[in-house]
């Protein structure tokens, strides 16, 4: 399976030194009952096929996600609950990348406290569900793709949101940092390691978070101030579009 242009050269980031030989599917983290996570019932082959296709559809923000070193952290469960949601009308409208004004992110109201996010660049147009939420003094953005194919698992992405001078900095959870942490201490967070078959574009193993929302939020709060976990240096920097 060939990855789209903006992902080429980045699959290698999914094959870090911490990845050790393993079976096709390995669930790690705190001891869990077989019924605790629905993914425990998914076969390795089906999950691998679904997730590979899923990753390719994570043209989520086109080139925006190409800013992220290595792979993308994805979670089965959302990072927010209804009580955590905040609605900021200032988010509505078109935002452009500071480094590429030909790419834009369009936030529109979706009813309630949600947003419809459309990202457009020279390669693709993508749709996402977006939810802004607050945990103590931190704001985060949970993103979920809406252009899913049949049988694809809905996976959540997470970024910390930092506002400054009317601009937005989206600091996505760093995959390499997280993978290293889980290798050192697998009990930190429920997760799944999926090994790829030989010949696949992604030669290595991928980590997917399977912890439920409460566990994910404890983890976010513990590491929200860590610049290795949420690196300003690899953030997606957005500014309001002059075309609005």
Q: Dump pLDDT digits (tens) for 125-139.
A: 888 999 999 999 999
- 59-88 burial, b at 16+ Cβ within 10 Å, e below that, comes to bbbbbbbbbbebbbbbbbbbbbeeebeeee
Q: So what's the pLDDT on residue 196?
A: 58
Chain-centre distance of CA 126, in angstroms? 15
Tokens of 64: 């925006």
Q: CA 206, CA 212: separation in Å to the nearest integer?
A: 19
Nearest to 20 by CA among 156, 186, 145: 186
Give the SS3 label for residue 42: coil
Domain boundaries, the chain: 10-240
Q: CA 137, CA 29: separation in Å to the nearest integer?
A: 28
Q: How many CB atoms lie within 10 A of CB 193?
A: 21
Q: CA 88, CA 177: separation in Å to the nearest integer?
A: 30
Q: So what's the pLDDT on residue 217?
A: 98
Q: CA 166, CA 6: separation in Å to the nearest integer?
A: 28
Laid out side by side, the sheet with 25-28 consists of: 25-28, 191-195, 205-209
Q: So what's the pLDDT on residue 204?
A: 59
- List, as one string, the DSSP characters of 18-80: T-----SEEEESS---TTT-GGGGS-HHHHHHHHHHHHHT--TTTHHHHTSSS-B--BSS-S-
Q: Rounded to two decimals, what is the model's pTM?
A: 0.75
Reading phi first (left if > 0) and then psi (alpha if -120 to 50, else beta), residue 14 is in alpha
Q: So what's the pLDDT on residue 17?
A: 37
Q: How many CB atoms lie within 10 A of CB 211?
A: 22
Nearest to 153 by CA among 166, 163, 143, 144: 144
Show the low-confidence residues of the chain (pLDDT under 50): 1-25, 30-47, 49, 52-70, 199-203
Q: So what's the pLDDT on residue 234?
A: 86
- List 132's β-bridge partners, or say none: 141
């Amino acid at each position: 399976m060939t990855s789209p242009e903006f992902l080429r050269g980045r699959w290698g980031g999914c094959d870090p030194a911490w990845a050790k030989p393993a079976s096709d599917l390995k669930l790690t983290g705190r001891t869990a009952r077989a019924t605790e996570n629905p993914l425990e019932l998914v076969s390795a082959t089906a999950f691998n096929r679904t997730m590979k296709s899923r990753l390719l559809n994570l043209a989520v923000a086109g080139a925006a996600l190409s800013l992220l070193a290595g792979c993308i952290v994805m979670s089965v469960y959302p990072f927010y609950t209804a009580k955590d949601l905040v609605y900021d009308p200032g988010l509505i409208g078109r935002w452009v990348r500071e480094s590429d004004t030909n790419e834009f992110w369009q936030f529109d109201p979706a009813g309630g406290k949600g947003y419809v996010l459309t990202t457009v660049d020279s390669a693709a147009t993508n749709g996402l569900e977006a939810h802004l939420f607050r945990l103590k003094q931190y704001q985060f953005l949970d993103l979920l793709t809406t252009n899913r194919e049949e049988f694809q698992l809905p996976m959540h992405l997470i970024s910390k949101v930092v506002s400054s001078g009317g601009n937005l900095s989206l600091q996505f959870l760093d995959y390499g940092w997280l993978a290293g942490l889980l290798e050192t201490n697998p009990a930190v967070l429920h997760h799944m390691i999926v090994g790829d078959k030989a010949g696949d574009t992604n030669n290595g193993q991928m980590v997917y978070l399977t912890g439920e929302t409460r566990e994910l939020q404890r983890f976010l709060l513990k590491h929200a101030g860590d610049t290795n976990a949420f690196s300003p240096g690899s953030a997606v920097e957005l500014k309001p579009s002059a075309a609005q």
